[in-house]
Structure 1
Amino acid sequence: MNAEQIVGFHPLPPHPCGNSLAAEDQKTEHDVPHRLLKNDPHKQDELIAAMTRWIVKHHVSPENVERDRKRREALARQGLHDPTQRLPHNASTQKGNWAEILLAEYVAASCNAQLPVYRLRYNPNVDQSMKGDDVLAFDLNSDPVRVLVGEAKFRSTSTKVVVGELIDALEKSHLGSVPASLQFVADRLFDSGQDELGAKVAECNTLFAQNRLQLDYVGLLVSNRHAHAHVSSAAQSNVQRLAVMSLALPAPEGVVADCYAKAAVLV
């Protein structure tokens, strides 16, 4: 297997990942497919702008954005402050969510897959990380039906330890057979009245039992300039359809903080 067979083609412009990131496919020292994502410092503003939009989209529905706007205006006329919090203030949660959102948007574009539910919208405590699979993306029209299971890690300083944690999480999901969050996605679709799509997602349980479901596993490490080297030397797994991506940013914490500061103005 190579990275392209699992992750698909690197998105082309005008997709933001195609505009601001370059990709190079390799194998790690232990023969795991590895896609290196290289940030273009001259186009980092474009990546920040895209991530700002995606942060809002993944955390808050358009309907809630509009409802919040009207409520804030009504409270402001009374001299009152709206305490509603839609985005995390906790820096660790922001960083984890940032990596998760980037991975979700990347695989949706590279694999022509659907993100039927933005799971962060359903987090009862926005300052805590959600349980379950970081990313579930679906290609329901492929034969066999395909589900991409994603795990994302953000570290200000890269280490081999976090690479091991990333692989362990993906292997744990693989050993658990059906993705843990699959029924969560189906239930949210049914709750929102998208019964046809919900039924297709729920049917993945049956397809798995019939050995007719393709599960692919993708990890993403976002960190400093050592991210590529640590993934290359430390990533190893016996899971056949598993690939890892790494993104090195010159000041990763600053990028995340900038994105969330800009997103807070939009919600």
Structure 2
Amino acid sequence: MDKLLYLIFLKTLTYMPTPQEILIGKHPAKPNFFAEWLDFVDEAVPAADLNKKHRKLSEVTGKRGLAIKSIAKYLLDHHVDPKKLERAKKRKEEILKKYKLKSFEEYLDTQTYFPKAKNTRNGNTAEVILSNYLQVTSGLSLLAFKLTYNPNVDQAIKGDDCLLFDVKDLTSKVIVGEAKFRGRSPDNKAIKEMIKNLEGAKKLPISLPFISQHFTSIGDENMAAQIDDLLYELITGKVNVINVGLIISTKSTNRGQDAGQQLDHYLKTTNPNLVALSLGIDDPDEIVDKTFDEAYKLLKAAVK
């Protein structure tokens, strides 16, 4: 056997997954978007604090444009019911004639598909990134796009930021996540609050009644019943619950301005099933502003 191949073979025999990989899976591989956009490091877990599990994410140079286009698609998926889009498309000529509009964009602007409030946009972007990243790493699924059901798009909707299930066996594993976005600096208050919201009783999902009602409303009583049963089994401690926190903020050589360094410094938890993710990038506000602009372009294209 070739020496190099033999060394690779030996390495595969001795490879041990990181604690982060055991809980949430490996960082995505190319050609997946997240592998193209983000590098990662699973920080070593210190022997003195085995609950300190940190995956540090960083943006690959030159991939900002790819990120904007890809995240914009996620924003559209999460915020806009495709049935509503299809209905608008079918009624386009009727609407233009009825309201004597020069362009259909005038009508779309009144429909409030996306939030305009900056804080809501920031939070929604972080939630969407976290949910889609973890779907790739864990293989679990999002059962309902909660942002679609927000009665006031400019206010943050209540519920779990991220809630993923194993659709083959709902009681085998659940991921509950919380996402924070801080465009100016990754303040320790946000990090501590994020961790606190994923410990103790707060580590369990709060959105299951909504998920159950969602399936009831679409006529899937079997899935609704499974969600009802899952709520009981979660409360009685029979389900493997994994918690994930994500903070998106700035990057810097100065610890106080760097998401990764700040999270590493303040990460302390009583939850052994928690993985904390940090994403430090240049000008994080640009990601939010430009992805929502791009999402609106996708919206307009969808109803042409």
TM range (shorter): over 0.9
Query: How many Å apart are 1:177 and its aligned residue?
Result: 6.4
Amino acid at match of 1:53: K
1:119-158 to structure 2, matched below 5 A, reads 119-141=146-168, 145-156=172-183, 157-158=185-186
1:48–1:259 CA contact under 8 A, matched in 2? yes
**Which whole-Å CA distance do the structure 1 matches of 2:151 and 2:197 have between them?**
23
Out of 51, 75, 84, the residue aligned to residue 55 of structure 1 is: 75
Amino acid at match of 1:45: G
Query: Once structures 1 and 2 are overlaid, which stretch shifts more, 50-59 or 177-186?
Result: 177-186
Q: Secondary structure at the match of 1:223?
A: strand
Amino acid at match of 1:149: V
Q: 2:26: which partner in 1?
A: 9
Which string of whole-angstrom CA distances, capped at 9 and with x for unpartnered residues, describes residues 171-205 of structure 1?
2xx41464211121121122112333333222212
2:217 pairs with 1:191? yes
Query: How many Å apart are 1:33 and its aligned residue?
Result: 0.4
**Which whole-Å CA distance do the structure 2 matches of 1:228 and 1:178 have between them?**
26
2:28–2:136 CA contact under 8 A, matched in 1? yes
Report percent identity of matched pairs. Answer: 29
Query: Once structures 1 and 2 are overlaid, which stretch shifts more, 37-46 or 237-246?
Result: 37-46
Out of 177, 182, 188, the residue aligned to residue 208 of structure 2 is: 182
2:16 pairs with 1:23? no
Q: 2:278: which partner in 1?
A: 246
Query: How many Å apart are 1:11 and its aligned residue?
Result: 1.4
> Aligned pair in 2 of structure 1 residues 158, 177: CA closer, same or farther (>3 Å)?
closer
The higher-RCO structure (CA 8 Å, 6+ apart) is 1
2:262 pairs with 1:230? yes
**Which whole-Å CA distance do the structure 2 matches of 1:85 and 1:100 have between them?**
19
Q: 2:196: which partner in 1?
A: 168
> Aligned pair in 2 of structure 1 residues 127, 28: CA closer, same or farther (>3 Å)?
farther
Amino acid at match of 1:182: L
Query: How many Å apart are 1:75 and its aligned residue?
Result: 2.6
Q: 2:87: which partner in 1?
A: 67
State the superposition RMSD in angstroms: 2.0
Structure 2, unaligned stretches of length 5 or more?
Answer: 1-17, 252-257, 300-304
Q: 2:291: which partner in 1?
A: 259
Equivalenced residues, count: 265
Q: 1:41: which partner in 2?
A: 61
Amino acid at match of 1:241: N
1:149–1:179 CA contact under 8 A, matched in 2? yes
Q: 2:132: which partner in 1?
A: 105
1:28–1:231 CA contact under 8 A, matched in 2? no
Query: How many Å apart are 1:161 and its aligned residue?
Result: 1.8
**Which whole-Å CA distance do the structure 1 matches of 2:82 and 2:236 have between them?**
38
Higher percent of residues as strand: 1
1:93–1:128 CA contact under 8 A, matched in 2? yes
Amino acid at match of 1:106: Y
1:216–1:241 CA contact under 8 A, matched in 2? yes
2:176–2:203 CA contact under 8 A, matched in 1? no
